Structure formats: C-alpha cells, structure tokens
Amino acid sequence: MKITAIDTWPMTAGWRTLVYLKVRTDQGIDGVGEATVERNTREVLSTIENFKSFLIGANPLEINHLWQQMRGYPIWPMGAGTLAAMSGIEIACWDILGKYLNAPVHQLLGGKVRDRTKAYANGWFQRCKTIGDFADAAGRAIEREGYQALKWDPFGAVDMTMNAVEERKAVECVREVRKAVGPDVDLMIEFHFKFDAATALRLAKRLEQFDPYWYEDPLRVAWYNPDTWKVLRQATSVPLMEGGSWDRWGFRRIIEQQWVQHVMPDIIHCGGLLEALRIAAMAETYGMTCSPHNVGGIPARAAVRHFAAATPNFLMLEHLPMYTEHPAVTDVSTVPLPEVREGYVEFSSEPGLGVNLDNVETIAEKFPYEPEKDAPKLGLHGFTTIDCHPISEEEQAFMKARPPRDWPLDYS
C-alpha cells in the first residue's frame, strides 16, 4: 500500500480554525485526520506540503517509521504547527490501518481496558454573562445532560494579575456554581495560563473552600519554565493538571518531579496517538492519571476516545456538548459521535476511527478559512471579568481608576 495524496481543508469555526485532512492510498482506503492548532494554521498547512516530499509513495501502515521521518524532518526544534501536522497525518494512518485490518483503532493500541468513560463538560457556559447565568447553566448541564463533572474558566479576559473586584467576582462565580450543582459534582477550574505566580497563589488558596477537582494551567511562565509548578504544588492541597501542548520531552521533567497529579496532552499537539500513549505510560509510573485535551473536530475527538478505551490510567473525557458546537464540527461526518448518557460515553467498534469526512468539502465552502480570525482571545468569549460579572455602582467607581485591561487575543 502507498500514499498517493494528502488533502487538507482549513475552515473557520467560531473561536477556532479547524484543519481536517485525508491521507489517500493506491488501494482506495482513505484515512481521516485533523491538524487543528489555534494561531498556527498556515504553519500546519505549509508543513504538510513539506512532508509530502517523502510521504507520497510511502507505506501508511508503517506508522512508527513515518513518525520518525516527520519528527526528524525540520532538524531544528519543532513548533506547535509542525507537531500538529505530524499528529494529523499519524491519526489518519491509524484510521487506514484499522480499515485495512477491519478493526477499531483501540484494538490496534492493545485493546479496551474499559467499555465506557466518564465525561466532564466544557463549553456549557456559552452565552453566560452574569454569575447567575453561570449557576443556571451549570445546573442545566447536570440535570438535563447528566454530567457529573464540569470545567470552566471563571476569570474572564485578564492578563497576569487581577484587582480586588475582579478577583472577588471570580470567586463568587465559583461559589454560586458550587451551590447550584451541590457537593457531589466535580468542578475543574481552568486558568488558561493567565497569571503570574502571586496571583495564581492567591486564587488557588481562595478557591480551595469549594473543593475543586483540579486546577488547570495556572501559571503563564510554566510554558517556558516548568520548575514554577513546584511553587503551586507546595502551596495548595488541590491536585494540579498540566495541559501544555507538549511531546514526551516537554512533559518529562514535570512528571519526574511529580509537580502535578494529572497530565493533559493534546493528541493533535503532542505528536499523535503513539506519543500520547508514551506520555500516559510515563505518567502512570508516578501514579498520575491522563486526560487528553479534547476540543478539536470530529477526527480528533474520535481519536481521543480510542485512546481512552485503551489507556489504563485514563481518567475523564473532556466533552463539548454538540448542542453548543459549530456546524464545522458537527456536520462534516455522516457518522456522529455518541453523546453523553448519564455522564458517560461509550466507544465505537467500527473499523478505524469510526468517523468520516464525507461532508468536508461542502462544509469547507460554507465556512472558508479566514486567516484574520485565527487568533482567539483567552477568556470567556472575549468578555472581560466585568462583562461577565457585572458590578455595582460603588465597585464601578473603584474600577474607574483601574479599568479592565485589554487582552489582545480572542477566545470566544
């Protein structure tokens, strides 16, 4: 079997750009993959074009060999876009192998260790603008959808620090969500790498009273200096989650030093399914769990489910409810992913990934790639803390001297 073509479809889907791809072969078996990585779309597309020079004509079933070729191609240290290009092609090759052997990908990864996995909701807070909105939406996610765990960012579009009013409003948001869902629902707090060490420490201590399940990515500088995790580890009793988009070399020191209790590789950003398995195995030797990031499109979400089925120390599946999603996510495949039932998701037994991209050309025409929108804002749909948590007249007077800062990226 030989690769004959690699086709890509970038498209703008609300707050992010999706990059879908197909690896085609001379035996008529196409593999679907995804190379979505925010802000680096053009790097992804150009890297895939470069990879074609040695991938066209290669055997897609020799996944390890192709991975090593892609890993060594740039010579210099790899950026997020290059890793995403590698991952998307690798995932597509697993899809080809599964279809060729008439087996689901999780069977090729060693077989299932579970029949279903617990899911936690992200994105349930869309269109929330007040603390009451957040509390109501959290209650609906539990009562209507059956989730037993929720994750969100209560801080708004802040940068490094928060003033007293902003900080108090964020704490109130967590307090009201906890009241709305009760003591038996797991609450994960997403910090989005927004803060300096002093602010992260203050927030970590103030939020402990609400029994968070984990704190995710509190420190901005941790991207570049992972040793800073040690400061938080010593200061809080809440387990820490590292969600950096790294390969195994990026995760190594954090895991070896045991500065976190959970790891969150992104299967698209870390190098693919095999690399995520290596990271999970490394974490398992230190008693850590692994819950990959999961906010991409259909091929990425299908790949994460196969990973969840086959990984012993997998914990929970991040899940964006389809009713909150963009058509570029929901409509590209004629085979939908199973929805959450009573807080759990089951796995596909279809060959390969179990999804397709049969509608991708139509959807790509409807939502063409717009490079100027390829820069999301880290926050709640671009709102500042004050937009999300309206303040009183007295608080407004205080804030006039310290207006909300302008965060330059858009995450909506």
**pLDDT band of 389, cuts 50, 70, 90:** low
Q: Which pTM value belongs to this model? A: 0.90
pLDDT at position 397 is 60
Residue 402: inside a domain, yes or no? no
407 CB-near residues (< 8 Å, 6+ apart) = 157, 158, 159, 377, 378, 379, 384
- Mark whether 97 and 119 lie in a shared domain: no
- Mark whether 161 and 262 lie in a shared domain: yes
Residue 115: inside a domain, yes or no? yes
**Residue where a domain stops, chosen among 34, 68, 103:** 103
Quote the number of domains for the chain. Answer: 2
- Mark whether 90 and 112 lie in a shared domain: no
Lowest mean pLDDT among 84-98, 275-289, 326-340, 347-361: 326-340
Asked if the model's pLDDT at residue 46 lies above 90, the reply is yes
**Residue where a domain stops, chosen among 103, 122, 137:** 103
pLDDT at position 145 is 80
- Mark whether 223 and 337 lie in a shared domain: yes
- Mark whether 311 and 209 lie in a shared domain: yes
Percent of the chain with pLDDT over 90: 71
- Mark whether 75 and 117 lie in a shared domain: no
Q: How many Å apart are CA 190 and CA 236, to the nearest integer?
A: 15
pLDDT at position 406 is 43
What CATH number corresponds to the domain at position 238? 3.20.20.120
Asked if the model's pLDDT at residue 396 lies above 80, the reply is no
Overall average pLDDT of the 360-376 stretch: 87
- Mark whether 259 and 156 lie in a shared domain: yes
Q: Crossing angle, helix 248-256 and helix 273-284, to 10 degrees?
A: 10
What CATH number corresponds to the domain at position 55? 3.30.390.10
pLDDT at position 378 is 46
What residue numbers bound the domain in which 83 lies? 3-103
Residue 362: inside a domain, yes or no? no
**Residue where a domain stops, chosen among 103, 124, 140:** 103
Asked if the model's pLDDT at residue 359 lies above 90, the reply is yes
Q: Is the dihedral of CA 306, 104, 81, 158 positive or negative?
A: negative
Residue 326: inside a domain, yes or no? yes
Overall average pLDDT of the 276-296 stretch: 96
Q: Which of 335, 325, 333, 324 is nearest to 361 (CA)?
A: 333
Mean of pLDDT over the chain:
89
**pLDDT band of 380, cuts 50, 70, 90:** very low
- Mark whether 98 and 145 lie in a shared domain: no
Lowest mean pLDDT among 21-35, 233-247, 302-316: 233-247
- Mark whether 314 and 182 lie in a shared domain: yes
- Mark whether 117 and 97 lie in a shared domain: no
pLDDT at position 221 is 85
Residue 371: inside a domain, yes or no? no
Residue 406: inside a domain, yes or no? no
Residue 196: inside a domain, yes or no? yes
- Mark whether 79 and 168 lie in a shared domain: no
Q: What are 211-223's pLDDT values in tens digits?
A: 999 999 999 888 7
- Mark whether 98 and 231 lie in a shared domain: no
Residue 337: inside a domain, yes or no? yes
